[in-house]
Structure 1
Amino acid sequence: MPQKPANVIFGLADKPPLGTTVFLGFQHVCLVAISLVFPALLIYETGGSPEQAGFMIDMSLLAGGLGAIMQSLPRGPVGCGYFCPQVCGPSFWAASLAAAKMGGLPLVLGMTAVAGLIESIFSRFMHKLRGLFPPEVIGLIVALVGITVIRTAMNSLTASDPQAEAFAHHGLLIGLFTLGVMIALNIWTKGNLRLFCSLIGMAAGYGLSIASGLVHQEHMLHVGQQPWIDLPVLDHPGLAFDCSLILPLVVATLCSTLKTVGDITTCQKINDEQWKRPDMTNIKKGILADGLTCLTAGVVGGFGQSTSSSNIGLSIATGATSRVIGVAVGAIMIVMSLCPKLAAVFTVMPRPVMGGTLLFAMSFMVVAGVQIITSRMLDSRKTFVVGLSLIIGLSVDITPQVYEGLPEAIRPIFGSSLSAGAICAVFLNLVFRLGLRKSAQTALPATAQAQGEAVAFLKRQGAAWGARAEVINRAAAGLSELVELLTLHGMVRQGGIDVQASFDELSVSLKLSYAGQAVELPPAPPEASTILEDQLAQRRLGGFLIGKYADQVEVARRGEINEVRLRWEH
């Protein structure tokens, strides 16, 4: 059972009051609305009509709302059970634009459904691929999610009114004002002010935008002209398919899936004070929900869906991570999809307000990624995985001209810093694992010096393997106790103690072999009154303590040789 962190106000299983839940839901929906720029831009880039853009936005909200509820399910084979809402995924932008230019909206929707099907199938094998996603790779992906948004956030933050040259910088001022209000409320307030810091900040930024003229009368007219109730699914243009788009679609789906792995891992970490490693079975269910949401989006007429890193970042900032909020977000999005007037209020949000909100939320994602990376000891191999992947990812934004001449088939990989860095990290992790020695062996003398030599050996190997310091320290304590038991009580009759240590990302294992008396592992300690005078009682106490140090202990005998096997979860 996850242990609720101290900085979380409403934890995973908590149920906030109804009013609080609704306001928190609206706060997150304001952030979800920023992603609606992707279906709108897709339609406008291909010469579509405002009606088509409205249809795709409404259907994206419908699919995303269903996905947010699906991800919040605490039981069953679908959904990670965390607050992890779905939004229009930037990973699908390049592939969707190519499909729109080739065959219009029907081809976009058909290939989006195929992408969801591919991801759903891939989720069935996800739990077997933990070796591909060690914490340093997942942490890098989480950090890159935040870094990728920098360009969008800064472009939005500096957006000004093109009709008012005298106010060339007031868009930046509004964005900074929005960000400043959010930060101030988050740092220096408690209770509801901290919970709703983002919503209050956006409202303040919205109000300042109206007062300064950044929100025009035509924006208000656009909202007023929208009907209260509509069923846009009746305008569905149909589905089309093209096999030539499969490869770029697979690349886009892989990028989206890697991002989802990072997002769900972040959810696991922020909801558990004792978090140690990604739960791949849980991630498997979350990816299935992600794939089914994307499939639903294609079928009903929406843009490709993916988990929302921005909303997860906002949940960290506010300290409200309850899955009940995810259900509220999903319900509000579904209502919005059927109420164009309400949806329009969010779609005309001033861009500087969007930029300030994105910077606020993504700050937490970048830091969360760094924390996941540094949760393991970084050897030279892992340093290169993180460092080179980060450099290649950033180069996509810093020097995009380097990738202009790439073949069309692989160009989607370098469509964003997230996709380039994430795929590079997975590839380098596979390459650098080749030839990595996973086991080591040493021989210890049956003397008083053996204890120190054993601990030094294990810590040296732990650093070489990049194992978690916490696990290596526990293993070193257990090894020290065992070697002291064998040497202090003269249980080794001849020769020394052979120690074999191994590491496989999932566990640290030790096997000690020696000729002599077997170690007894009693289920309970001996009576305290017998320990000082009875040597056998002292040995039984040592055996009991060894059983407590390790997650798993086994004793076996091979002819004249005794073996003690110890294992620690990593």
Structure 2
Amino acid sequence: MSAEVGKAPLATWLAAAFGRQGDRVPAHMPDVVLGLDDRAAPPRMLALALQQIALQSIYFVLPVMAAAAFGAGPVAATNYLCLSLLGLAVFAVLQALTRGPVGAGYPMPATPSGVLFAPLLLAAAQGATLAQATALIMINGVVALLIAPVVRRLTTLMPTEVTGVVVFLVGASLLPSVMAMLHVDAAMPAASLPAIIVAMGCFIVMVVVAVLRWHLAPFAVLIGAATGTVAALLAGMAPAGARDVLAIEPWFALPMPAAAPDFDFAPGLLVPFLLCLVASLASLIGTTVALQRATDGGWTRPDPGPIRRAIIAHGLAGVLAGMAGGMGSAASTSCTGLSIATRTFARNVALAGAAILFVLAFCPKAVALFVLVPAPVQAAMLLYVAGFMMAQGCEMIVRRSLDTRRTVVAGLGLTSGLAVLVSPAFFTAALPALAAPLAFGALVAFLANLVTLPLVRRVERFVVPLGGRAADLVEDHTFAIGGAWGLRPDTVRKLHHALTELGDLLAARGTAAMAVTATQQEDAVELAVSFPGAPLPTPARRPRAADIEAGGDAMEAVSLWLALREATRHAMRSTSEGQELRIVFHD
């Protein structure tokens, strides 16, 4: 018996840290085409998965460029890409898990990590080997695994203002790639006009198919991409050397790591990788929150359980990718934007995409087909999802009332990220490890939130005489606090409801007054209600009409349940002056 008792706290901690019992049950979303648990028919599932892979393939060039920076030839670079595709498949499977301590439970396709790309190039420039780079990617994953269970208040460190900045900058970061794919040159604007026309035509087809909400609307990007590809090929815009690349690559090849991870690297190389981990986690949290919001009709704030497990899956995927000798993966914000745009969130679509990527990893010739999509078509696909991600980011930033501090956090993050977007050459020279809008903007927003967090705490005290005007006084105080502190209207309603029900309960006892201390935290409001007399009973778990008729403690238990039913947590303690009930509400 004693052994079981000794293990109980550990079991409780593990269940709280890694379990799914406390996850929020998503409310119904009326405009969702495919929900998380829906199973699309095989033809539809395949089409949706291919549409996602078409977006993922835009980033397939990153492992190739990274391998080339380390001196790899075409064959070795293709092998590195195939190993990286295996990592993408593993990442998506881990994130889609719905049981156990790993995985957010959301469809989260992956791309080669753009955030890790800059540190990889920096490592190559400083003479590191590809084996040492994979060791650094493994360490990056291990640190993410260590962070996940330790960070208990993820929504405090990454509130919606910060995650909104990340999501916005993810979309904004795609714009330079759009312009580069169109070969826009200010000195020769007419030269890029044909590519722009094809890209805009492709983009318009995507928008029209999506806006008309046909049964083909979920395939808007795929239809637009197919139309644009035909137009680009007819206009002679096939990628240079496409035939030669397809001829050289074999149909089947077993991807093999170039060398075992080498941990004998210069310690200074670890710094940029760990700095970029902050941006990677911010991007992951932003993507997870965007999916939470898009799939939950009653969403008000991030659910920390799936976020924590998403970080665990991210870290584990990084470790496995490093062990396999491939590039680290990141949640594909482009694919997330596509899911939000088309309202299709079925997990089996992401799993089908992972299966296709797994097969592609053993077929270099098929991989080349995705890499050789005409540049104007790739630009149109990126532009389409960038708009949705930027709009989603703006909506997340203003989800809560923007007081001065939140405005500073969001404003500094956005301006920092956009500054990198405007002057990339300066940041490449001055801060090469953070020379990306997402990396620098996310880090600035995170630090601004962290530094100003101690300044948030505000306290308001008042006494409510429990007479005929008690309800009016409670309403006046709660609405005044809500306006002064910038609380969400729903939070104000919860405060008002709890104090009203509690006041009625104490008045029925004959209590003359209750003293209330309201304390504002970053993402919560705590009420400390003090009153004389005996402790209150334990709130009822299943209120019954018979309890109300019985009166006494049974009726008080029901009344207390009514007061606390929307609270995040509560606690009762005895004081020298009577009793104190603490109630916490998330804002």
Matches of 1:306 and 1:538 in 2, distance apart?
Answer: 53
- Tell me the secondary structure at the aligned position of residue 440 of structure 1: strand
Residue 518 of structure 2 is aligned with which of 501, 504, 507? 501
- Tell me the secondary structure at the aligned position of residue 196 of structure 1: helix
The amino acid of 1:227's aligned partner reads: P
- Hey, what does 1:228 align to over in structure 2? 251
The amino acid of 2:299's aligned partner reads: W
Deviation at 1:77, TM superposition (A): 1.8
Q: Which moved more, 1:15-24 or 1:219-228?
A: 219-228
The amino acid of 1:361's aligned partner reads: V
Q: Which moved more, 1:125-134 or 1:64-73?
A: 125-134
The answer as to 2:420 corresponding to 1:396 is yes
Task: Tell me if the contact between 1:481 and 1:546 (Cα under 8 Å) persists in the aligned partners.
Answer: yes
Residue 399 of structure 2 is aligned with which of 370, 375, 390? 375
Deviation at 1:473, TM superposition (A): 1.4
**TM-score normalised to the size of structure 1?**
0.88
The amino acid of 1:434's aligned partner reads: P
Matches of 1:505 and 1:238 in 2, distance apart?
Answer: 45
- Tell me the secondary structure at the aligned position of residue 241 of structure 2: helix
Residue 85 of structure 1 is aligned with which of 93, 97, 109? 109
Q: Which moved more, 1:139-148 or 1:38-47?
A: 38-47
- Hey, what does 1:239 align to over in structure 2? 261
Matches of 1:281 and 1:524 in 2, distance apart?
Answer: 28
1:438-471 Cα deviation digits (max 9, x unpaired): 4321123445444333323223333444433212
**TM-score normalised to the size of structure 2?**
0.86
Task: Tell me if the contact between 2:140 and 2:315 (Cα under 8 Å) persists in the aligned partners.
Answer: yes
- Tell me the secondary structure at the aligned position of residue 434 of structure 1: helix
Structure 1's 86 and 541: CA in aligned 2 closer, same or farther, altered over 3 A? closer
Matches of 1:351 and 1:339 in 2, distance apart?
Answer: 22
Matches of 1:383 and 1:165 in 2, distance apart?
Answer: 38
Deviation at 1:518, TM superposition (A): 8.3
- Hey, what does 1:143 align to over in structure 2? 168
The answer as to 2:510 corresponding to 1:491 is yes
Deviation at 1:567, TM superposition (A): 4.0
Structure 1's 167 and 95: CA in aligned 2 closer, same or farther, altered over 3 A? closer
Residue 178 of structure 1 is aligned with which of 195, 202, 217? 202
The amino acid of 1:56's aligned partner reads: Y
The answer as to 2:432 corresponding to 1:440 is no
Structure 1's 535 and 295: CA in aligned 2 closer, same or farther, altered over 3 A? closer
Q: Which moved more, 1:72-81 or 1:42-51?
A: 42-51
- Hey, what does 1:311 align to over in structure 2? 335
Matches of 2:144 and 2:566 in 1, distance apart?
Answer: 41
The amino acid of 2:132's aligned partner reads: L
The amino acid of 1:373's aligned partner reads: I
- Tell me the secondary structure at the aligned position of residue 497 of structure 1: strand
Task: Tell me if the contact between 2:158 and 2:282 (Cα under 8 Å) persists in the aligned partners.
Answer: no
The amino acid of 1:60's aligned partner reads: S
- Hey, what does 2:433 align to over in structure 1? 412
Deviation at 1:278, TM superposition (A): 1.9
- Tell me the secondary structure at the aligned position of residue 499 of structure 1: strand
Deviation at 1:372, TM superposition (A): 2.1
- Hey, what does 1:29 align to over in structure 2? 53
The amino acid of 1:412's aligned partner reads: A
Matches of 2:155 and 2:568 in 1, distance apart?
Answer: 20
Matches of 1:90 and 1:403 in 2, distance apart?
Answer: 16
- Hey, what does 1:568 align to over in structure 2? 585
Residue 145 of structure 2 is aligned with which of 90, 101, 120? 120
Deviation at 1:333, TM superposition (A): 0.6
Task: Tell me if the contact between 1:4 and 1:11 (Cα under 8 Å) persists in the aligned partners.
Answer: no
- Hey, what does 2:39 align to over in structure 1? 15
The answer as to 2:227 corresponding to 1:204 is yes
Deviation at 1:207, TM superposition (A): 0.8
Deviation at 1:424, TM superposition (A): 1.0
Structure 1's 568 and 230: CA in aligned 2 closer, same or farther, altered over 3 A? same
Deviation at 1:137, TM superposition (A): 1.4
Task: Tell me if the contact between 2:453 and 2:522 (Cα under 8 Å) persists in the aligned partners.
Answer: no
Q: Which moved more, 1:200-209 or 1:452-461?
A: 452-461
Structure 1's 543 and 224: CA in aligned 2 closer, same or farther, altered over 3 A? same
- Tell me the secondary structure at the aligned position of residue 229 of structure 1: coil
Task: Tell me if the contact between 1:138 and 1:261 (Cα under 8 Å) persists in the aligned partners.
Answer: yes
- Hey, what does 2:350 align to over in structure 1? 326
- Hey, what does 2:132 align to over in structure 1? 107
How large is the RMSD of aligned CA atoms in angstroms?
3.3
Q: Which moved more, 1:543-552 or 1:450-459?
A: 543-552
1:170-215 Cα deviation digits (max 9, x unpaired): 1111111111111111110322x11211111111111111100001
- Hey, what does 2:446 align to over in structure 1? 426
Structure 1's 158 and 182: CA in aligned 2 closer, same or farther, altered over 3 A? farther
Structure 1's 41 and 552: CA in aligned 2 closer, same or farther, altered over 3 A? closer
Deviation at 1:405, TM superposition (A): 6.1
Deviation at 1:292, TM superposition (A): 2.2
Matches of 1:552 and 1:227 in 2, distance apart?
Answer: 60
- Hey, what does 1:345 align to over in structure 2? 369
Matches of 1:98 and 1:544 in 2, distance apart?
Answer: 58
Task: Tell me if the contact between 1:146 and 1:363 (Cα under 8 Å) persists in the aligned partners.
Answer: yes
Matches of 1:549 and 1:111 in 2, distance apart?
Answer: 45
**Superposition pairs of residues 412-561 of structure 1, within 5 angstroms:** 412-413=433-434, 415-483=435-503, 491-493=510-512, 496-505=513-522, 507-515=524-532, 524=543, 545-546=562-563, 550=567, 561=578
Q: Which moved more, 1:108-117 or 1:268-277?
A: 108-117
Residue 2 of structure 1 is aligned with which of 26, 32, 48? 26
Deviation at 1:54, TM superposition (A): 1.1
- Hey, what does 1:39 align to over in structure 2? 63
- Hey, what does 1:131 align to over in structure 2? 156
The amino acid of 1:319's aligned partner reads: R
Matches of 1:195 and 1:276 in 2, distance apart?
Answer: 26
Residue 358 of structure 1 is aligned with which of 382, 387, 391? 382
Matches of 2:290 and 2:503 in 1, distance apart?
Answer: 39
- Tell me the secondary structure at the aligned position of residue 439 of structure 1: strand
Structure 1's 9 and 548: CA in aligned 2 closer, same or farther, altered over 3 A? same
The amino acid of 1:31's aligned partner reads: L
Structure 1's 145 and 464: CA in aligned 2 closer, same or farther, altered over 3 A? farther
For structure 2, the 5+ residue unaligned runs are 1-24
Q: Count the aligned residue pairs.
A: 557
Task: Tell me if the contact between 1:158 and 1:172 (Cα under 8 Å) persists in the aligned partners.
Answer: no
Q: Which moved more, 1:284-293 or 1:19-28?
A: 284-293
The amino acid of 2:139's aligned partner reads: V
Matches of 1:286 and 1:263 in 2, distance apart?
Answer: 10
The amino acid of 1:440's aligned partner reads: E
Structure 1's 157 and 526: CA in aligned 2 closer, same or farther, altered over 3 A? same
1:44-65 Cα deviation digits (max 9, x unpaired): 4455421122112111111111
Matches of 2:567 and 2:316 in 1, distance apart?
Answer: 41
Residue 294 of structure 1 is aligned with which of 310, 313, 318? 318
Structure 1's 561 and 63: CA in aligned 2 closer, same or farther, altered over 3 A? closer
- Tell me the secondary structure at the aligned position of residue 231 of structure 1: coil
- Tell me the secondary structure at the aligned position of residue 108 of structure 2: coil
Deviation at 1:548, TM superposition (A): 5.0
Task: Tell me if the contact between 1:438 and 1:502 (Cα under 8 Å) persists in the aligned partners.
Answer: yes
The answer as to 2:87 corresponding to 1:63 is yes
Task: Tell me if the contact between 2:341 and 2:388 (Cα under 8 Å) persists in the aligned partners.
Answer: yes
